[in-house]
Chain A
Amino acid sequence: MTEEIIIAGFGGQGVLSMGKILAYSGIMQDQEVSWMPSYGPEMRGGTANVTVILSDDRVSSPVLQSYDTAILLNQQSVDKFESMVKPGGLMIYDPNGITRHPERDDIRIFQVEATEEAVRMKSPITFNMVVLGAYIKVNPVVNFDNVIKGLRKSLPERHHHLIPINEKAIQRGMEIVKEAKLRTP
């Protein structure tokens, strides 16, 4: 098994930390992992993305041009990465703020209303965990228990009191994710 994932969105949405938790979850599941962020000038333009690879074998290139899964959290990211999902691959996106929805019919597309859900939970910063929950529901490459272990490992101890709310956010994401209905052209 090798799962090549791109997570992209605005800086501050927790894209990089979501990738880190996913990578830690992979380690908990005895997988080989790599986490490759965009850094430098790209980051300062307001968009952030990270490539995460989980694999049973040694990870080869951390730099990729096509992905098994794209988790896209703003319009720029949908525009940039929709075409880079492998045929038969997976896309998950938050429809909040999206005016041009994805259109491909050769990949599986799911929606998670994570922005809304995080606000409803009165904890907007758990937004990225709602998204993570959606992902592991649709594609259980790592199981829930290992994600929680990964979360525990990823968060500094002084933030461990936040684990229950994050855990709840992941569960909510698992519950609310739904297949997107493509608009017929």
Chain B
Amino acid sequence: MKELALMKGNEAIAEAAIRAGVDGYFGYPITPQSEVMEYLMLQKPEERTGMVVLQAESEVASINMVYGAAGTGKKVMTSSSSPGISLMQEGISYIAGAELPCLIVNVVRGGPGLGTIQPSQADYFQSTKGGGHGDYRLIVLAPASVQEMADFVDLGFELAFKYRNPALILTDGLIGQMMEKVELSEQKERVSEFDQSWVTTGKTKERERNIITSLNLDPDLQYEHNLKLQAKYKSMDQDVMFEKIECGDADFLLVAYGSSARICQKVVEMARSKGLKVGLLRPQTLFPFPSEEIARMARKVKRMMAVELSAGQMVEDVQLAVNGKVPVTHYGMLGGKIHSPDDVLNEVEDKYIGGY
């Protein structure tokens, strides 16, 4: 039998990291994600697997430790919450430019600025559109349960190494602080299962030296490098992931990820019990975004509504995918407040009955 546990989302990420055979974690505490490092430290992973867990002097230091360690082909990660992730943006841009795999966890809190420690989804733009400088993208995973918090650690590393690109788990204090049943995976050996031909751990006689850099002063080279990056980001479409709930006969489609998707699951149940044909499309990857599936759904439904804990960020990607075929609206809550299923249902009924 698989091992079952009752865990907070943040703890599940930490436990999954140890079990995934992660080599190093570098972080700096910030609410609402401090349990990640707390749990790691308590578990003494240096004894369990030999994993290094280090509290850096700042977020800037932790992301640069990730940068350096990632260059050796090791599985390394960091976690933080919104203001800390903002501090890391320079490093993240460098890691993306240098094409190194790593995992970053953002347990989002309400902003802007220091904001509040309550849940928010207002870092969608920062996560999916770059965030730092330059034309780059992160692989962005959006867990909606404690189980997915654990599962996406493994998935994040798999995709990060497949594309040699940083992966980011975008979650918030709601999923991070909530406890649910989680099925833990088996302990993996701390030996990399991925391609190591590019790592900088010492040149051998058989090959040319490997170079890891994000600097190309020659614009022709930098142009070529950018074309290569863009082709890579495009190819990520093959790994798009989403879940559809009650979409078969739906004529009103909710699009929501993470904590909002959990709330919308309840909205679908409530709407269905009132005879309203409401469905939910839940992106599990935000980059790559399920644009193709949303475009397909636009031919079947009469209206879509993006539900997010923001002033309307993901809704722009939904609108791009729908391309004017059906009306797309946004419903959201700001600054760390959470919409209840009843709030969202009211809006659905308003649009459903009055809106066609």
Contacts and interface: CB of A to CB of B under 8 A. Distances in A.
A61 interface: yes
B178 A62 contact: yes
9 contacts: A27-B181, A37-B177, A59-B180, A61-B264, A61-B265, A61-B267, A63-B174, A65-B341, A65-B342
A40 B343 CA distance: 23
A40 B31 contact: yes
- Interface centre among A40, A60, A153, by most chain B C-beta atoms within 10 angstroms, is A60
A36 interface: yes
A39 B32 CA distance: 9
B145 to A, nearest CB: 8
Contacts of B342: 65-66
A111 B269 CA distance: 33
Contacts of B264: 61
Contact of B269 (A27, A37, A60, A153): A60
Interface string B27-50: 000011000000000000000000
Contacts of B118: 40
B6 interface: yes
A145 B343 CA distance: 39
B174 A35 contact: no
A60 B180 contact: no
Given A23-B179, A27-B4, A39-B177, A65 B340 contact: yes
Given A62-B178, A64-B341, A65-B340, A24 B6 contact: yes
A34 interface: yes
Contacts of A40: 31-32, 116-118, 173
A60 B340 contact: no
Interface in A14-38: 20, 23-24, 27, 32-37
Contacts of B268: 60
Interface in A38-87: 39-41, 58-66
Contacts of A153: 6
Interface in B165-188: 173-174, 177-181
B266 interface: yes
Given A36-B174, A39-B173, A63 B341 contact: yes
B263 interface: yes
Contacts of A33: 6, 179-181
A62 B144 CA distance: 11
Interface string A88-112: 0000000000000000000000000
B266 to A, nearest CB: 4
A64 to B, nearest CB: 7
B225 interface: no
Interface of A: 20, 23-24, 27, 32-37, 39-41, 58-66, 153-154
A61 B262 contact: yes
Interface residues of B, number: 28
Contacts of A154: 6
B108 interface: no
B338 interface: yes
B119 to A, nearest CB: 9
Interface string B316-356: 00000000000000000000001011110000000000000
A35 B178 contact: yes
Nearest to A37: B177
A62 B262 contact: yes
Of all A-B residue pairs in the complex, the 7 with the closest CB atoms, nearest first, are: A61-B266, A60-B265, A35-B179, A60-B266, A65-B340, A61-B263, A40-B117
A32 B342 CA distance: 22
B180 A63 contact: no
Contacts of A65: 340-343
Given A33-B6, A63-B174, A20 B265 contact: no
A171 B201 CA distance: 63
Given A36-B174, A39-B117, A58-B265, 16 more contacts: A20-B179, A23-B6, A34-B179, A34-B180, A35-B6, A36-B178, A59-B180, A60-B268, A60-B341, A61-B340, A62-B174, A62-B178, A63-B263, A65-B340, A65-B342, A154-B6
A64 B340 contact: yes
Interface string B93-125: 000000000000000000000001110000000
- Interface centre among A24, A40, A63, A154, by most chain B C-beta atoms within 10 angstroms, is A63
A93 B114 CA distance: 38
- Interface centre among B6, B266, B338, B343, by most chain A C-beta atoms within 10 angstroms, is B6
A61 B145 CA distance: 10
A138 to B, nearest CB: 24
Contact of B341 (A20, A35, A58, A61): A61
Nearest to B340: A65
A63 B338 contact: yes
Contacts of B266: 60-61, 64
Contacts of A41: 116-117
B36 to A, nearest CB: 15
B175 to A, nearest CB: 9
